Structure 1
C-alpha cells in the first residue's frame, strides 16, 4: 500500500461526514464507517496532505465504488460553469417524462436533487437504495445531464433519472405529475450569483420555494447546504418562514448543530463533490434539514 492511498483513507476521517453520521427519519439515508490501519499520526498526515492529494483525488476516491467510466465522448465538461437561468434558452419548461419508462416502479417515494451537477451524489444514493426510492436529478447544464445519463445506462440503474431543466420553471409540473409521494428535496451548494443585481438568477426563488413546501408529503424532508454563508442564509430565511417546516434540531434536540443552528455533518452518508472541494480548502459548510409537519 503506497503512501498516497493511506493519505486518502485518512483524509476521509479528516474531512468529515464518514463514520458516525446523523440519523434522520428517512429510510434511504445510510451511514458509512471507515477505519485505517495506518500508524502515521494525524499531524504528520496533515503536513503531507497537500503534497500528495488534490480535492479531485478525494472526490474520485469517495465515489470509487460507482466504478464510473470516464472514457466518454463528451468533450470537456465544467462542473462549476455558471449559466444565466433567465436567458431565453432556459425559459422553456422541461417535458414531463413517462414515469413508467424512466423508473421501474414510479410509485416509490421520490427524491429530487435540484442542481445535481455531475449526478454522482444521486447515483451513490440510488445504487444503495434499489426498490426503496426513486431519484430525480435536475440540472441546467446539458452536458452534465448527458454524461450522467450515460453513466446511469452503464450502471443499469432503474431508480434514477436525470433531466435537463431549469428547476425554477419546471419543478412544480414535474413533481405534481409524479405518481408517487415527494419524500425528499435537496438543494446543495447552488450557484451563488454573488452580485446583488444577479440574485434574481439564484435557483431558489419564491415560486420554487412554494412548490417545494406544497408538494412535500407530511414527514417529507428538505436538505439545503452551501459553502457560501450569504447563500445559505438566503435559503434558510426563505424556508424558516413556513410554519409547516420544522428544522430537525427542534424535532430532535440531540441532532448535532452549532450554536447558530447549522448542522455539523451531512446526514446523507456521503458528501457532495462541491462539499469535498470546499472542505479540502478549509471552508465551512452551512447545512439545514427541515421536515414537513402533518
Structure 2
C-alpha cells in the first residue's frame, strides 16, 4: 500500500470508533474492548437532500493496514486463494498424517517454547507474532488448505523468519505426533474462528473433537494456554464446553482479575495483540467475537495416573 493511501486510510480509521486493539498478556497491557458502531454511507442535509459521505474502509483495506508492517508481496503466481473455502476434513484426501519435519531444519532453536495455531489461514496473524518474538518463541501454523500454506511459506521465507513454520495438515490427524516430536515445550495452542460447519450432521467435521482436545491437554506444559475464539456463538460454546470438561484446565479470569470478561465469561478483548483476518471481517459486519483463554493448571501426566485429584 502506498504511503499516501495508507495515510488516508489511517485518517478514516481515526475518525471511526472501529479501531485496532493492541493488548496481550505477552506483548502489551490488557484494556477493555471498544464497541463497534455503524452508520449508513448517506446522511440527510438541512435541505433534506441526501449527500454521500466518505465510505468506511473495506475490511480488506483494514486487514492490509493491520498487517502493513509485514510488507508482504501479493503478486504471487498461485492463482485465486480462498481463505474461507470450506473443506471436508473427513475426506480420504486429508486422512494421511503430515510428515514430521526435522525441527532443527525449520527452526533456528527448536528448544524454544512452541505456539501452534490450528487452522492458521493465510498465516499473517502468526507471522506478525513471530516477527515480534524472534528469540522467545517458535510458531507452527497448521492449515488444511494447501494453496494457502504455499503462500504462507513464501511469505515467511521473504521475511527471513527462522522461528515460524507452516504445514499442510489436518490437525485432527496430525497434531498429536507433531507436538510429541517437538523438542521444546508446548506453551500455547490457538483455534481462531474455525470453519463452523453449521448443519448438525456436519458437526463431526469441526476441527475440535475429543481426540484433539486430549492431545492438546496431554502435551500442554504446566501453565500453558489455549486460546479459542469464534464469531459463531454455537461454535464458541462447543469449544468452550469441550475444554471446560477437562479438570486440568481453568479459564484465566478465575485466577487473574486483570482478564476482563462479560457476564457470560467471554473475553472482552483479543489478548494476542493482533486480530485475525476473519475477526476483522466479522467485527466490521457487526458480529460479536466470542473468546476464551484457558490455562493448564494440573500436570496432566500426574493427573492421569491418579496422583493429583
2:207 alignment partner in structure 1: 203
CA distance in 1, matches of 2:20, 2:253: 20
Equivalent residue of 2:139, what SS?
Answer: strand
Tell me if the contact between 1:249 and 1:257 (Cα under 8 Å) persists in the aligned partners: yes
Query: Shift in Å at residue 17 of structure 1?
Result: 2.1
Candidates 255, 259, 263, aligned match of 1:259: 263
Change (3 A) 1:32 1:148: farther
5+ residue gaps, structure 1, are: 34-41
Tell me if the contact between 2:114 and 2:184 (Cα under 8 Å) persists in the aligned partners: yes
Candidates 126, 147, 151, aligned match of 2:130: 126
Query: Which stretch of the first structure deviates more once superposed, 66-75 or 48-57?
Result: 48-57
2:142 alignment partner in structure 1: 138
5+ residue gaps, structure 2, are: 42-52, 299-309
Candidates 7, 13, 16, aligned match of 2:12: 7
2:99 alignment partner in structure 1: 95
Change (3 A) 1:64 1:31: farther
The one-character-per-residue Cα deviations of 1:143-182 (angstroms, maximum 9, x if unpaired) are 0000000001111000000000000000000000000000
2:276 alignment partner in structure 1: 272
Tell me if the contact between 1:16 and 1:265 (Cα under 8 Å) persists in the aligned partners: no
The one-character-per-residue Cα deviations of 1:59-81 (angstroms, maximum 9, x if unpaired) are 00000000000011010000000
The one-character-per-residue Cα deviations of 1:24-57 (angstroms, maximum 9, x if unpaired) are 3xx4x34699xxxxxxxx99x9666881411111
Tell me if the contact between 1:189 and 1:274 (Cα under 8 Å) persists in the aligned partners: yes
The one-character-per-residue Cα deviations of 1:222-263 (angstroms, maximum 9, x if unpaired) are 000000000000000000011111101101123210000000
The one-character-per-residue Cα deviations of 1:258-282 (angstroms, maximum 9, x if unpaired) are 0000000000001110000000010
CA distance in 2, matches of 1:162, 1:3: 34
Candidates 182, 189, 194, aligned match of 1:178: 182
Specify the structure having the higher radius of gyration (Cα).
Answer: 2
Residues paired across the two proteins, number: 278
Equivalent residue of 1:14, what SS?
Answer: coil
CA distance in 2, matches of 1:82, 1:210: 25
1:159 aligns with 2:163: yes
CA distance in 2, matches of 1:237, 1:198: 18
Change (3 A) 1:207 1:291: same
Give the TM-score normalised by the residue count of structure 1. Answer: 0.90
CA distance in 2, matches of 1:103, 1:213: 24
Structure with the bigger percentage of helix: 1
Change (3 A) 1:158 1:280: same
Change (3 A) 1:117 1:31: farther
Tell me if the contact between 2:226 and 2:294 (Cα under 8 Å) persists in the aligned partners: yes
Tell me if the contact between 1:31 and 1:269 (Cα under 8 Å) persists in the aligned partners: no
Tell me if the contact between 1:17 and 1:266 (Cα under 8 Å) persists in the aligned partners: yes
Change (3 A) 1:57 1:74: same
Equivalent residue of 1:111, what SS?
Answer: strand
Aligned counterparts, 1:24-173, within 5 A? 24=25, 27=26, 29-30=27-28, 51-173=55-177
